[in-house]
Amino acid sequence: MKLLKSLSVAGAMTALPTLALAQEAAAPGFDEIGPYIMTTLLFLVGGFLVFWMAAGFAMLEAGLVRSKNVTTQLTKNIALFSLAGIMYWLVGFNLMYPGEWIIPGVLGGFSPTVLEPVGLGAADASLDYASVASDFFFQLMFCATTASIVSGTLAERIKLWPFLIFVVVLTGLIYPIEASWQWGGGWLSEMGFSDFAGSTLVHAAGGFAALAGAIILGARIGKYKDGRTIPMPGSNLALATLGTFILWLGWFGFNGGSQLAAGTVGDITDVGRIFANTNMAASAGAVAALLLTQALYKKVDLTMVLNGALAGLVSITAEPLAPSLFESLWIGAVGGVIVVFAVPFLDKLKIDDVVGAIPVHLIAGFWGTMIVAINTQAPLLDEAGEVVVIDGVEQTVGFAAQLVTQFVGFAAIGIFVFVVSAIGFYILKAVMGIRVDEEAEINGLDMSELGMEAYPEFTNG
């Protein structure tokens, strides 16, 4: 009996190494699952940084509108973000990243987003990328950002519910369709258009939608009189400044997460490079606006400085990886200069943009998109779609050709977003009206849209 036990123990001890080896063979090592884990983590961290930009937009807009409209503006911001979350799940994500195209390269399919099952095993995961849940979460934040851009421009005179209906269309259809043309592998991507983190796809698109709305809505009462632009100071520049800093912080996730990979030394080093370039462009944009307003007006204009920083951020977003720190500096500085001249130019056209979103996001977005041609040329492809290689060197499209490609991409997205947005606003105007009446605008939207007169202790002047 003792002998049998001894033999059993010995047999078990002999089998242990074999079992251990089998377990080791079954469990993938970190080299295999590490890139998946790190890229998923990048999307989650980047996503909640971009989420914080929603707070930045809310504070910026609350600070730049007049006191009687602050609560309505805050309501719009939290509502639009929430609606974007639902619409992007319902149709937006799969429309933007289609498994199958209804119209190849132009229009994807319509279906809700489905996440991985609980407790997903490594054998069933797409280890070459990241989890669907993290990718959906990250990309959703970009969708919501596009709607936030529109909110500030149309402040102080648009009705709440027509605006929110437009947000449903923008986040569920307009943004996902145009973004699919590039990031979903659509026709712009095949053409060689380049937009790293969305100077055009997010920022200019939001700017074009805002421009359409501003033209159809018209200016606020009393904004333009006898050929003059009448200043309408915001309620709280401390809030506006806080909002700008929050946006600046969130932009690190916006641009850094758009590296879309963090599983190698090169990828994570590039993320750090993107952070540094993003910060440099914002700094240069703010300083350029600071110096230029002093030179032009003999005084510094804080709102211009805030928008100068944001314009610098938008300018670098189309390509935050390739430039050096010095190149990022002058790219951002030009963005700051653009704002200082574009804001009064819009006023001359009597296009009333309450927070300066059109100069920051549309015009600086154009600059950032076009300057990509200096730092990044797309690979030159042959008729079979393969990269042309001469003497072992991959060939790229020349500067002039890439510049044309960038312009075509910007124009295509701009025309699509502007036209569809204008149609949407015209339909809403005809069906239910989009602008509050004169008395409501004078008294403030907090009273007309939210009934704040019933709660005098919460009114804002």
Write the pLDDT tens digit of every residue in 421-447.
Answer: 999 999 999 999 999 999 999 999 999
Q: Is the pLDDT of residue 3 over 50?
A: no
pLDDT digits (tens, 9 = 90+) for 254-306: 999 999 999 999 999 999 999 999 999 999 999 999 999 999 999 999 999 99
Asked whether the predicted pLDDT for residue 23 surpasses 60, the reply is no
The pLDDT value recorded for residue 99 is 85
| 396 Cβ contact list (under 8 Å, min separation 6) | 377, 378, 379, 380
C-alpha 256/C-alpha 276 separation (Å) is 10
Give the separation between CA 204 and CA 358, rounded to whole angstroms: 8
Question: What is the pLDDT, as a whole number, of residue 458?
Answer: 43
24, part of any domain: no
Q: How far apart are the C-alpha atoms of 195 and 62, rounded to whole Å?
A: 30
Q: If pLDDT is split at 50, 70 and 90, which confidence band does 459 have?
A: very low
Residue 453 has pLDDT above 80, yes or no: no
Whether residue 25 lies inside any domain: the answer is no
pLDDT surpasses 60 at 19: no
Assess whether pLDDT exceeds 70 at residue 68.
yes
What's the whole-model pTM score? 0.90
How much is the pLDDT for 110? 95
Q: Is residue 408 part of a domain?
A: yes
Looking at residue 325, its pLDDT comes to: 98
Residue 136, both tokens: 């959906």
Give the C-alpha separation, 246 to 369, whole Å: 24
Residue 298: is it exposed, middle or buried by C-beta count within 10 angstroms (0-12/13-18/19+)?
exposed
Identify whether 78 is part of a domain: yes
1 belongs to a structural domain:
no
Q: Which of 161, 193, 165 is nearest to 179 (CA)?
A: 193
pLDDT tens digits along 335-383:
999 999 999 999 999 999 999 999 999 999 999 999 999 887 667 776 6
Q: Which residues contact 278 (CB under 8 A, 6 or more apart)?
A: 251, 252, 255, 256, 313, 316, 317, 320, 328
Query: Between residues 128 and 233, which one has the greater pLDDT?
Result: 233
Give exposure, 94-120, as e/b (b: 16+ Cβ within 10 Å). Answer: bbbbbeeeeeebeebeeeebeeeeeee
pLDDT of 27 reads: 62
Is 266 among the domain residues? no
Residue with tokens 């639902």: 86
Average pLDDT over residues 140-155: 97
**What pLDDT does residue 321 have?**
96
User: Is there a contact between 252 and 42 (Cβ–Cβ < 8 Å)?
Assistant: no
Q: How far apart are CA 275 and CA 57, in angstroms?
A: 20
* Residue 169 counted as domain residue: yes
Task: Please give the Cα distance from 166 to 435 (Å, whole number).
Answer: 13
Cβ(111)–Cβ(94) below 8 Å: yes
Q: Within 88-131, where are the H helices? A: 93-96
| pLDDT of res. 178 | 98
Looking at the structure of the chain, the number of domains it has is 1
Find the CATH number of the domain harbouring 282: 1.10.3430.10
In a domain, 347, yes or no: yes
Range of the domain at 155: 33-114+126-261+277-379+399-458
